[in-house]
Amino acid sequence: MMELAGNVALVTGGLRGIGAATALELAQNGADVAVCDLQQTPEGEQLLDTIRRLGRQVLFCAADVSNFNRAQEVVAEVVRALGHLDILVNNAGINRDHVIWKMTEQEWDSVLGINLKGVFNYSRAAAPIFRTQGRGKIVSISSVNGLRGQPGLSNYAAAKAGIIGLTKTLAKELGKYQVNVNAIAPGYIETKMTENLAADVKAEALKGTVLGRLGAPEDIAHVVTFLCTEGARHITGEVIRVDGGEYM
């Protein structure tokens, strides 16, 4: 089924991991896709080629999501190149882990800048478009660690908790314009960002699930895609955990 045919989606941090899986699944469901990331990569070019082979239009925009002005430019580029914008997926994120007494100001600022300010920047750029056209979907990637906190992740947890507060506020501000705003809180997902974590950290995450497995990027992409369809038209302001029962 091409449930998203005729839609244009913008995915930040869209060249790998959860972002790449999401961009591909949105395209498989009929959407034209714009992908925003720091720079193009061979792996990223393969993703864009795969989307093109599906018959979808695709656009790559190089950007640091923490740059407010660049966010405005990227959204304008998407509308100019693909005709309109219907879906925004705020996925871009980094981690710079340290306990609070070892964390540097730069580590704090960089994670808050990408993980939280980036969501503000792109939501701010898309909101006037969604408000004017009377429709739109915003899905932001938070984390179970934004719900519970975790040692060594004060910057990451604070940013991901901020996304939850921002999501609920935007849902209230944009609801009367028929814009749905939701967040997803993944548990441990096996991506390049997590592949270098210590084996004992992974083992502890696995032990914490009730399904006995770690998540894959596609597990998140499935839920993002659902939230962008008409089947989710009455869901807004929600934070959906996709964590194998890791946090409950």
Cite the active site residues: 156
CB atoms within 10 A of CB 59: 19
Radius of gyration of the chain (CA): 17
Residue pair 112/166 in contact by the 8 Å Cβ criterion: no
Sheet of strand 87-90, all strands in order from the earlier edge strand to the far edge: 58-62, 32-37, 8-12, 87-90, 136-141, 179-186, 239-242
Angle at 41 (CA atoms; ends 113, 7), nearest 5 degrees: 75
Question: What are the E-state strand segments in 39-169?
Answer: 58-62, 87-90, 136-141
Burial of 106 (0-12, 13-18, 19+ CB in 10 A): exposed
CA distance 97 to 67: 22
How many Å apart are CA 178 and CA 225, to the nearest integer? 18
Residue closest to 31 by CA, chosen among 69, 53, 68, 57? 57
> How far is 22 from 159, CA to CA, in rounded Å?
21
CB-based contact 163:145 (threshold 8 Å): no
